[in-house]
Structure 1
Amino acid sequence: MSVVKSIQLMLPKDAVYQAGSCVKGQVVLTLHSTLVDPIVKVELVGRGYVEWSEETGATLDYSRDVICNNKADYVHKSKMFPVKDNWLSAGSHTFDFHFNLPPRLPSTFTSKIGHVFYYVQASCMGREHILAKKRMYLRVQGTSDFPRENKVSPLFVETEKKVTYNCCRQGTICLQIQMENNIFMPGGRVHFTTEIDNQTGKCIKSIIFALYCHVLYEGFTPKTERRSRVESSVLLRQEANTQIVPFNTTKIVSVFNLPPLLSVSSNMLEGEIMSTQYELVSIVHLPWSLTSVKAKIPIIITSSPVDSDNCQMQEEADSVSQE
């Protein structure tokens, strides 16, 4: 039986940590019996990884899959807790820790291709052997430098399309989206107004609103050839059942509640493994014309770093070793 009964990490449940903020917690080590010369350690780690396969040799008489990947290290800090007289008695022992997150970090992210993850890991080591280990993953909200004062207000897009119905008849559908601004924070509310001008002899029964997330990944082949790939996904979706009668105009006011944790909008910079852009799309499906009308408007997600001075002072005041 191991001398360590359990090792636990005590952190706020379901917390979202802003880049630049402080991660505070406790390590609780419970022993069956006395432990001599223990090493009790806690680490903060943040990493990113992308991987996908792509087909090559399409112009030849064969093809093969090439694995493209990339990785990044965002943060790695560790602390070893001092142990008085180099031994711990049976029972529970509590160790407090503080970690300061760097002010510039990407958000926690998971897809089929890419991952950005952060975790805190506590461990207890005896004489050259790890006796116990516990890991907890963190949700970290990344930051951006986008200047909010440069926002465009209001924002307006319009799409007009001529459609055919009843074999030979034609009409136009005009679709408009209007917003007061298109810059939002994670957890915010996206307000927008859609106007549909139905200049056909058919009724429009529904309209779909969707917030798309477009992620550009960058990786390298085994021969260090640079590759990129774009993946799009629907972040939020709503469907409005309408009865827009022929030769009539209807306005629809909609609201999206953004998740509290989002990747910020960004362009691909040197050394990054992925970048993110968002787009609000309104879609009018016309089953009687076998077509659809779309209007798209860009959305910018931004988040500012917090003041990390207080946590930095706490880190420096801790009487522990740090790597």
Structure 2
Amino acid sequence: MLFDRVKVFTVRLDNARAGADPVFSGGQAVAGRVLLELAGPVRVGSLRLRARGRAHVHWSESRSSGSSTAYTQSYSERVEVLSHRTTLIGPDTGEITALPAGCHEFPFSFQLPPTLVTSFEGKHGSVRYCIKATLHRPWVPARRARKVFTVIEPVDINTPALLAPQAGAREKVARSWYSYHGLVSLSAKIDRKGYTPGEVIPVFAEIDNSSTRPVLPRAVVVQTQTFMARGARKQKRTVVASLSGEPVGPGRRVLWQGRALRIPPVGPSILHCRVLHVDYTLKVCVDIPGTSKLLLELPLVIGTVPLHPFGSRSSSVGSHTSFLLDWGLGTLPERAEAPPEYSEVVADDVAAVEQSPFPLPQEDSSVSLGGPFFAYIQEFRYRPPPLYSEEDPNPPSEAMRPRCMTC
């Protein structure tokens, strides 16, 4: 092998911390330098720079056509979300540039588009951004240097839609074979739809057990990754946080007065990408022995811009106080339990994914938290907390029971 006079060839971004990928958002300027250290004189044809961002999904499914014929069907889709090219050395005429020995720096700068998809790493897809520099020399293979960077799409939860309370109510008959055991009712409410990692969701709920069997209430935050290609879709659901209550005996009613459910450092919601989505849901469920679970789903949006406590765009103090008065006084913060498997939380009849023109794959319920740990949530270091024993709160009096569970 011939002696290569290029000793160092790398891409560095300004204001990037050592050992961490730099973080940007749409509309920001990306500035940096291409560093080139030469051991001797070098003739350079061109030095080109390219910034690229891609959203890519891919998965395979086993299919059968007949009694003995089997084949594999692959689904793949790719979307270019960022493309920028520039030339640092070498005009289009193809002239050769001679560089002397020593260190050389070639600065660059470009503007990101105003809207970009958040960086993401999932089981069947990803959104990745990088800057690649390519050095062309006569009669020598091209040298390439690569620098990865992270993009976070700003999701401001201080909007009317994300500050609106979310509520719902459901009921179910407890049965075993042909025996009727009574009715179980569930009502739940949260103060808003949008939250950021590290925040606590106060869960207000009423569980009315009119059956003859004890039931077990709990609440979980579920992340749903949806990958789309060629008219088909693949979903992966993961429980990222959970809490469990004490069993509710027959003929009893229990009120959750702001039970605390903390959001771990997960990636934000991705709602505007053509090939993949990341959604979150708060699921409040009641396990009924001998009957499928009673499930109530409230939509969540995980944002990047936290709540303004006293800003003009934040929810008013009066409305928040009224919310607490409607549901009783808040309780002391509680520690959430380690997340269970998703299949343990959701009944089979509500776990099906949406229909598509192609046969849908089976849902993958393995627990694996997708997405990078972004800079804005690095202060939260999530470790699955140990299981613990909760004290059974005193049953609420009739005066504390809310009269309208859906308002």
Superposition TM-score, scaled by structure 2 size: 0.60
Output the aligned Cα RMSD.
3.6
Aligned match of 1:42: 49
Aligned match of 2:9: 7
Contact 2:55 2:81 in 1 (8 A): yes
Equivalent of 1:257, from 259, 263, 266? 263
Aligned match of 1:308: none
Cα distance in 2 for partners of 1:107, 1:81 equals: 28
Aligned match of 2:295: 294
Structure 2 letter corresponding to 1:22: A
- Give 1:1-323 correspondences, 5 Å limit: 1-11=3-13, 12=16, 13-37=20-44, 39-56=46-63, 58=65, 62-82=69-89, 86-142=97-153, 148-151=159-162, 153-164=164-175, 170-184=181-195, 187=197, 189=199, 191-199=201-209, 200=211, 203-204=214-215, 207-219=218-230, 227-234=231-238, 236-240=240-244, 242=246, 244-246=248-250, 247-251=252-256, 252-257=258-263, 259=265, 261-266=267-272, 272-286=274-288, 288-289=289-290, 291-301=292-302
| Cα shift at 1:291 | 3.8
1:15/1:27 Cα in 2 relative to 1: closer, same or farther (>3 Å)? same
1:265/1:278 Cα in 2 relative to 1: closer, same or farther (>3 Å)? farther
1:25/1:204 Cα in 2 relative to 1: closer, same or farther (>3 Å)? farther
Cα distance in 1 for partners of 2:168, 2:121 equals: 31
Cα distance in 2 for partners of 1:232, 1:172 equals: 32
| Cα shift at 1:238 | 1.9
Cα distance in 2 for partners of 1:110, 1:79 equals: 28
Contact 2:32 2:108 in 1 (8 A): yes
Cα distance in 2 for partners of 1:202, 1:131 equals: 73
1:247-290 per-position Cα deviation (integer Å, ceiling 9, x unaligned)? 13031523443647434224x8xxx333444322123334x446
Cα distance in 1 for partners of 2:43, 2:110 equals: 27
Q: Secondary structure at the match of 1:238?
A: strand
Q: Secondary structure at the match of 1:2?
A: coil
**Segment drifting more, 136-145 vs 2-11:** 136-145
Q: Secondary structure at the match of 1:242?
A: coil
The alignment of Structure 1 onto Structure 2 pairs a total of residues equal to: 290
Contact 1:209 1:282 in 2 (8 A): yes
| Cα shift at 1:302 | 6.2
1:40/1:34 Cα in 2 relative to 1: closer, same or farther (>3 Å)? same
Cα distance in 2 for partners of 1:38, 1:51 equals: 37
Contact 1:196 1:249 in 2 (8 A): yes
Cα distance in 2 for partners of 1:190, 1:20 equals: 31
Structure 2 letter corresponding to 1:193: V
Cα distance in 1 for partners of 2:183, 2:141 equals: 71
1:69-112 per-position Cα deviation (integer Å, ceiling 9, x unaligned)? 222222221222248x9333333222222221112322222323
Contact 1:55 1:65 in 2 (8 A): yes
Q: Percent identity?
A: 18
Cα distance in 2 for partners of 1:6, 1:148 equals: 48
Contact 1:9 1:25 in 2 (8 A): yes
Cα distance in 2 for partners of 1:32, 1:105 equals: 40
Cα distance in 2 for partners of 1:263, 1:160 equals: 30
Cα distance in 2 for partners of 1:302, 1:264 equals: 9
| Cα shift at 1:7 | 1.7
Cα distance in 2 for partners of 1:128, 1:285 equals: 71
Structure 1 letter corresponding to 2:298: I
Cα distance in 2 for partners of 1:206, 1:279 equals: 17
Cα distance in 1 for partners of 2:101, 2:172 equals: 77
Cα distance in 1 for partners of 2:47, 2:29 equals: 21
1:47/1:80 Cα in 2 relative to 1: closer, same or farther (>3 Å)? same
1:161/1:127 Cα in 2 relative to 1: closer, same or farther (>3 Å)? same
| Cα shift at 1:138 | 2.0
Give the number of the structure with larger relative contact order, counting CA–CA contacts within 8 Å between residues 6 or more apart.
Answer: 1
Structure 2's unaligned 5+ residue stretches are: 91-95, 306-407
Cα distance in 1 for partners of 2:157, 2:116 equals: 14
Contact 1:4 1:132 in 2 (8 A): no
